[in-house]
Chain A
């Protein structure tokens, strides 16, 4: 009996360890794709045109039946609107989820009558037996009139919720189910997709990296391989190649660009590659600039250590505007998302009963990419940029006025086949659904 008791205690302790280990592992999950929330302290009132100006590839919402959304949302000004925000990570993760949370706080400041409830950490690690669609059901039962899902992983939940509650507009940040011209269109009148054109942020990061590298070797710490991560990695490369050639005045053939995919948005011991080790391998292998594409700050932390050990290395963070804080002296900058203007526009439409099926892939506001009221994507410049800051501004200006078009032929896929013919400019679909990495990039194009 005694041994049985000891056994049961052992089992219980083991169970406790497992559960706490799971919870521990879950903490980083928290932020598939962290982002930076720009300060929601904007002083100027947003212009009504802001979101429209940025929505370059928005599908015409003609297929949508306006009645779907009108049914529930208060159709007049002075009305009230309760929003339910479902986040994959903690609302204060200093990353992806916090950006959404602060964007909704921004909306409540800008638009009287809007309030929001949120549930964060909706992921299998933190809340094992909870589905996103269940959280939506509960938020709707508590009076939510619009639902926001903030992760790509919620695509099924978003569709399920939209089908189950046809009167509630359901916003899925990232995702393409409502893109009529896309590959995965689902004709669901109350489903809305919103995404920022992070490709530009990545190009800017790539440019900063190319101007900074002394060895001509740039590393990209990639998450898992999918269309989104392929196009972002390719955008980094295109930005790097352009600035390597035009600002550093060097031959593109001499630029080495390597992508190492760890297998997920953060480290899962035993499942993914260890990003700390991958970052170290880059820095020790002569890659003196590493850009992060993952949620967690290994590229920054290891750069700091390498720099302290006397190596000349630099990094570009991702998603979180405060990303340079880890190691300001060796930080080149950080591209980040700003959801505020798109959400404000969406909620104003919802209040008028006009928020229906649409796909918005919002661009930076080129007048000022860090304008919290208008720009969907921004870039915070880091200290390590030094004298190259002026050239980077020139590059950003060129992207904005279209004098620099990077997704323009001739461009080949990694296997040498033609992606874009000479002079051909990629369509939004060709970019969104990028099939392979590009020629000149080293690394896998698809999961094995």
Chain B
């Protein structure tokens, strides 16, 4: 397989490696500019950037509870980012990842509700996670079918399906799955503790969930680097028409990338239910699917960088709670930081590509 991928490497490979180094300079520049930009924002909001950084650090790593929260946030981020690698590689912007998390969580909740007290708890949890995976996969395939057969941009198909998934969750929480006598935004009745995935002490970190996410990440790295499937997916991503003419079944590959991404996001949704919230809540995805999109855009779709970047974003996300607590700053400042990073990274990539083109044309 490895041999194969070497021999069929596209002719542009050497140019690619050249561009990577130029891109690296641009990325570095982008990072510096965005840091400067963020420091200015912080100064304008009347705080010292150093105090903001130290609060964020404290908020993420100050106590065992907080560090556990970083790990709990890392789990769905790793899963979704891994899934998004497949769709991005195939040239697709799967914004439907949020909905895929939600449907996964709904499917898991459904299985847990149906089987609790009927089969042993560990089996219920396992079946619940499998159901979540299946639910997410189904939702991903639906976006894929709309894209491939319905010729609808996957961006808008995904967004539309996100609304449907969210509506479904809210309908279930306020309708058929409401708590006895009361329907509320706090979600369905919490599951019995026997159906909770084990955690470290009383913190929110679940080692099993994290291991599942890491396994998925490793599989993704291997598939992307060392398999024929990964290579063909790249070919489709570069130019679906050319790939098709060269005999690669583009349609099937595109659909498979949606299915895989949906399945991983579905597992993330399942784990949000069994490992974190222990019930279905309206905001079960915690917007981590969107955050995973930012992670993957920032690392230029390179799976090797998922872990450090997702860890950084988890820390930022969890630590941001300290901003209002310690400094009376809006915690959405962390969102500004995330957005700024990604925006500048995308700009840098665009500029670097443009510079490359100008150079080539000369």
Hey, which chain A residues are within 8 Å of B183, CB to CB?
Answer: 224-226, 447
Contact of A128 among B283, B322, B343 (CB under 8 A): B283
Near A by CB (< 8 A), chain B positions 284-320 give 286-288, 290, 293-294, 297, 317-318
Judging by beta carbons under 8 Å apart, are B167 and A270 in contact?
yes
Hey, which chain A residues are within 8 Å of B343, CB to CB?
Answer: 12
Is chain B's binding surface mostly helix, strand, loop or mixed?
helix
Contact of B184 among A4, A5, A134, A152 (CB under 8 A): A152
Judging by beta carbons under 8 Å apart, are B325 and A142 in contact?
yes
Q: List the one stretch of B107-115, B133-141, B174-182, B254-262 in contact with chain A.
A: B174-182
Judging by beta carbons under 8 Å apart, are B321 and A11 in contact?
no
Shortest distance between the CB of A11 and any CB in chain B (Å):
4
Asked if A421 CB lies within 8 Å of chain B CBs, one says no
From known contacts A5-B353, A130-B321, infer whether A447 and B95 are also in contact, taking CB-CB under 8 Å. no
Hey, which chain A residues are within 8 Å of B63, CB to CB?
Answer: 137-138, 141
Asked if A153 CB lies within 8 Å of chain B CBs, one says yes
Hey, which chain A residues are within 8 Å of B353, CB to CB?
Answer: 1-2, 5
Near B by CB (< 8 A), chain A positions 117-146 give 117, 119-120, 123-131, 134-135, 137-139, 141-142
Shortest distance between the CB of A285 and any CB in chain B (Å):
26
Judging by beta carbons under 8 Å apart, are A11 and B167 in contact?
no
Hey, which chain A residues are within 8 Å of B277, CB to CB?
Answer: 131
From known contacts A5-B349, A5-B350, A125-B283, infer whether A141 and B62 are also in contact, taking CB-CB under 8 Å. yes
Judging by beta carbons under 8 Å apart, are B287 and A22 in contact?
yes
Contact of A134 among B65, B182, B185 (CB under 8 A): B65
Query: Of residues A16, A127, A270, which shows the largest number of chain B Cβ atoms within 10 Å of its Cβ?
Result: A127
Chain A contact residue count (CB 8 A cutoff): 55
From known contacts A117-B325, A128-B283, A447-B175, infer whether A154 and B332 are also in contact, taking CB-CB under 8 Å. no
Asked if A217 CB lies within 8 Å of chain B CBs, one says no
A-B pairs with CB below 8 Å: how many?
125
Shortest distance between the CB of B63 and any CB in chain A (Å):
5
Judging by beta carbons under 8 Å apart, are A183 and B181 in contact?
yes
Asked if A164 CB lies within 8 Å of chain B CBs, one says yes
Judging by beta carbons under 8 Å apart, are B293 and A120 in contact?
no
Near B by CB (< 8 A), chain A positions 90-138 give 117, 119-120, 123-131, 134-135, 137-138
Shortest distance between the CB of A235 and any CB in chain B (Å):
18
Near A by CB (< 8 A), chain B positions 238-282 give 277, 279, 281-282
Tell me the complex Cα distance, A9–B185, Å: 34
Contact of B290 among A18, A264, A448 (CB under 8 A): A18
Judging by beta carbons under 8 Å apart, are A152 and B283 in contact?
no
Shortest distance between the CB of A170 and any CB in chain B (Å):
15
Contact of B95 among A15, A153, A156 (CB under 8 A): A15
Hey, which chain A residues are within 8 Å of B331, CB to CB?
Answer: 127
Judging by beta carbons under 8 Å apart, are B286 and A226 in contact?
no
Judging by beta carbons under 8 Å apart, are B288 and A9 in contact?
no
Contact of A129 among B185, B282, B294, B318 (CB under 8 A): B318
B 323-351 binary contact with A (CB < 8 Å = 1; else 0): 01100000110010001001100100110
From known contacts A15-B95, A120-B324, infer whether A153 and B185 are also in contact, taking CB-CB under 8 Å. yes
From known contacts A138-B321, A153-B186, infer whether A16 and B204 are also in contact, taking CB-CB under 8 Å. no
Judging by beta carbons under 8 Å apart, are A155 and B65 in contact?
no
Shortest distance between the CB of A110 and any CB in chain B (Å):
24
Asked if A271 CB lies within 8 Å of chain B CBs, one says yes
Tell me the complex Cα distance, A226–B155, Å: 37
Shortest distance between the CB of B299 and any CB in chain A (Å):
13
Asked if A32 CB lies within 8 Å of chain B CBs, one says yes
Judging by beta carbons under 8 Å apart, are B346 and A12 in contact?
yes
The residue of chain B having its C-beta at the shortest distance from the C-beta of A183 within the complex is: B181
Hey, which chain A residues are within 8 Å of B175, CB to CB?
Answer: 447-448
Contact of B325 among A119, A155, A263, A264 (CB under 8 A): A119
Contact of B286 among A18, A23, A129, A447 (CB under 8 A): A129
Judging by beta carbons under 8 Å apart, are A156 and B186 in contact?
yes
Asked if B49 CB lies within 8 Å of chain A CBs, one says no
Near B by CB (< 8 A), chain A positions 40-64 give none
Hey, which chain A residues are within 8 Å of B318, CB to CB?
Answer: 129
Judging by beta carbons under 8 Å apart, are A32 and B293 in contact?
no
Judging by beta carbons under 8 Å apart, are B95 and A11 in contact?
yes
From known contacts A124-B185, A263-B174, infer whether A11 and B290 are also in contact, taking CB-CB under 8 Å. no
Asked if A10 CB lies within 8 Å of chain B CBs, one says yes
Query: Of residues A32, A139, A155, which shows the largest number of chain B Cβ atoms within 10 Å of its Cβ?
Result: A155
Contact of A135 among B62, B182, B321, B342 (CB under 8 A): B321
Tell me the complex Cα distance, A7–B154, Å: 11
Tell me the complex Cα distance, A8–B343, Å: 10
Hey, which chain A residues are within 8 Å of B283, CB to CB?
Answer: 124-125, 128
Hey, which bits of chain A sit against chain B, CB under 8 A? 1-2, 4-5, 7-12, 14-16, 18-19, 22-23, 32, 117, 119-120, 123-131, 134-135, 137-139, 141-142, 152-156, 164, 183, 224-227, 263-264, 270-271, 433, 447-448
| Listed A/B pairs (25) with beta-carbon separation below 8 Å | A5-B346, A8-B93, A8-B297, A11-B95, A11-B293, A12-B297, A14-B95, A14-B155, A19-B290, A22-B287, A128-B287, A129-B73, A134-B69, A137-B63, A138-B63, A138-B322, A138-B325, A141-B65, A142-B325, A152-B186, A164-B202, A227-B181, A263-B174, A447-B174, A447-B175
Hey, which bits of chain B sit against chain A, CB under 8 A? 59, 62-63, 65-66, 69, 73, 91, 93, 95, 155, 159, 163, 167, 170, 174-175, 178, 181-187, 190, 202, 204, 277, 279, 281-283, 286-288, 290, 293-294, 297, 317-318, 321-322, 324-325, 331-332, 335, 339, 342-343, 346, 349-350, 353
Given A127-B321, A138-B65, 6 new contacts (CB under 8 A): A12-B343, A14-B159, A138-B322, A141-B62, A227-B181, A448-B175
Closest 10 pairs (CB-CB, A-B): A124-B283, A128-B287, A11-B93, A129-B286, A153-B186, A226-B182, A137-B65, A128-B286, A153-B185, A5-B350
